[in-house]
Amino acid sequence: MRSTDPTALWDTIRQGLSKQLPEASFKEWIAPCAPLEMKGGTLWIQVPSAAAKLWIEQQLPEEFSDALAVGGLGDLRLEFRVNGTPVAEPKAVRRAQSTAAGPVEPPASFPYLFNRYTLDRFVVGPGSQLAFAAAKAVVDSYGKAATPLSMNPLFIYGGAGLGKTHLMVGIGKGLLDRDPKLRVVYVKVDNFFNELTVAIRAKNTEPMRKKYQQNDVLLLDDVQTLGKMERTQEEIFHVLEHLLQHGKQIVITSDKPPQRLEGCHERLITRFKWGLTADIQPPDFETRIAILRKKLEDADFSNVPPIPEDVLTFIAHKAKGSVRDLEGFLTRVIFQASLIGVPPSLEVAHAAFLGQSGEEASAPIPPERIFRMTAETFNVSFADLMKKRSRQQAILLPRQVAMYLAREIASLPFADIGRSFNMHHSTVMNAIDSVRERMKRDPEFHRMVQALLNSIH
């Protein structure tokens, strides 16, 4: 029987988190937390500040999910309380108590901390259009007559932190909204492996296999780790075979496409490729800005002071690797501003960037970086921006802005800027004058250039 002692439960979760998080992150975010009480199936945890609560809930849901799964606490709800705020009974618990006499619906087994992973909160960009369209189609077409285009299984792949798990869980939530009686299960391959290891030791794997085969929807996360798990591959193959034969929906995520999964059995790769394979690419600059604005619409950010446009631009330029990096940088800026008691500003963002990366944001800036960030902002290729002969307006304006910024930020001589673009220095001078004149008469253009300048600086 599972312990109901808050301290014992929290120790189990802490142990799991300590194996996943860097030591500095563990000390900063997890060490100051303390268990409060168990109430209606929910463990309440005290955190030192509202900013810490925001960081944990926004940035660490997958780490907490893994820690709960490894500790055998997959159905435990977590709620975080800031010092001095009263503990309120979770709404889901009150609902369950009020309907205790009625039939019990099968619960979805994806983690409670994934509650923000819904399709309507996923910001679609050029690099995620196919994956999002496929995810939405899985939800919209579920239970309808089969079409020539099979999306079963739907295999989504891409780098870490780009939104694969968000889409996967969003599909599960969308299907449950349509039919709350569906049996939806979410499992990471590593956690499936741990569960299987326990079953093998007990010399009884059949109940585990049936547990997964009885579901209507299987959400299988991070299959790239399957390579060295021979027995796990075998069990997953049997589960997939059963579900596919009975028309059940499968969604799979990986950091690489099926054909590049090293160590996977060919028959398993074949099953992965049966349906639709869709990739997610890192978001472009405009999508990153849209993601930040969408993030600020969350209820968690309702009491946050307005974030200036130049701060958003700075964050979008610095955090390019993943959505998680982007959202994490935004949260860190807000956290740092609240810590010192000032509104979010470009100065705070620079300090947050230095604290996070160790890189001095105000170090000398190479001209190429200015040109590349300008090209990214205007959504043109770097090669086209630097090409001398192109006179297209779509290239001409970004090139003039790049010259202006090189002069303003790096104080480059006109001749040096001209050499970068293989142009005479007089052409550079005219281009910079043109940008300055337009900034005077076009407030929107002025704001855009100024925001870009501040973000690069």
Token duo for residue 338: 């609240």
The per-residue DSSP string of 269-317 comes to HHHHTSSEEEEEPPP-HHHHHHHHHHHTTSGGGTTSPPPPHHHHHHHHH
Domains of the chain in sequence order:
6-104 (3.30.300.180), 114-280 (3.40.50.300), 285-357 (1.10.8), 367-456 (1.10.1750.10)
Rounded Cα distance, 165 and 114, in Å: 9
Q: Are 16 and 71 in contact (CB under 8 A)?
A: yes
Token duo for residue 266: 């060919």
Rounded Cα distance, 423 and 403, in Å: 11
How many residues are given for the chain?
A: 457
Instruction: Tell whether omega for the bond before 32 is within 30 degrees of 0, i.e. cis.
Output: no
Radius of gyration of the chain (CA): 26
Per DSSP, the three-state class of 450 is helix
Token duo for residue 170: 């969003």
Rounded Cα distance, 374 and 386, in Å: 11
For 309, phi then psi, to 5°, come to: -60, -40
Rounded Cα distance, 383 and 373, in Å: 13
Q: Among candidates 25, 327, 311, 316, which has minimal Cα distance to 161?
A: 327
Rounded Cα distance, 431 and 423, in Å: 11
Q: How many helices (H) and strands (E) does the chain have?
A: 21, 8
What's the distance, CA 423 to chain centroid? Answer: 42
The sign of the CA dihedral 73, 75, 80, 84 is negative
What element of type H or E holds 44? strand 42-47
Cα–Cα distance list, 311 to 308, 352, 369 (Å): 5, 11, 18
Q: Helices in 71-205 by DSSP H: which ranges?
A: 91-98, 129-141, 164-178, 189-201
- Give the per-residue pLDDT at 125: 86
| Global model pTM greater than 0.85 | no
Cα–Cα distance list, 441 to 54, 408, 436, 437, 444 (Å): 41, 19, 9, 7, 9
Question: Long-range CB contacts (< 8 A, 24+ apart) of 260-267?
Answer: 261/223, 261/224, 261/226, 261/227, 262/227, 263/226, 263/227, 263/228, 264/223, 264/226, 264/227, 264/233, 265/233, 265/237, 267/237
Q: Which residues contact 115 (CB under 8 A, 6 or more apart)?
A: none
Instruction: Say what angle helices 230-245 and 189-201 make with each other, to 10 degrees.
Output: 110
Per DSSP, the three-state class of 179 is coil
Q: What is the pLDDT along the chain (457 residues), one digit of tens a residue?
A: 567 888 999 999 999 999 888 888 888 889 999 998 888 888 899 988 877 888 888 788 888 888 888 888 877 888 888 875 544 544 443 333 333 344 344 445 566 678 888 999 999 988 899 999 999 999 998 877 665 567 889 999 988 888 999 999 999 999 999 998 999 999 889 888 988 988 898 888 888 888 899 999 999 999 998 888 888 999 999 999 999 999 899 999 998 899 888 888 898 999 999 889 999 988 888 888 899 999 888 887 888 888 988 889 888 888 877 888 888 899 889 888 888 888 888 888 888 887 655 454 455 678 888 898 888 888 888 888 887 665 667 788 899 999 998 888 877 889 989 989 888 889 999 999 999 899 888 877 887 887 787 667 6
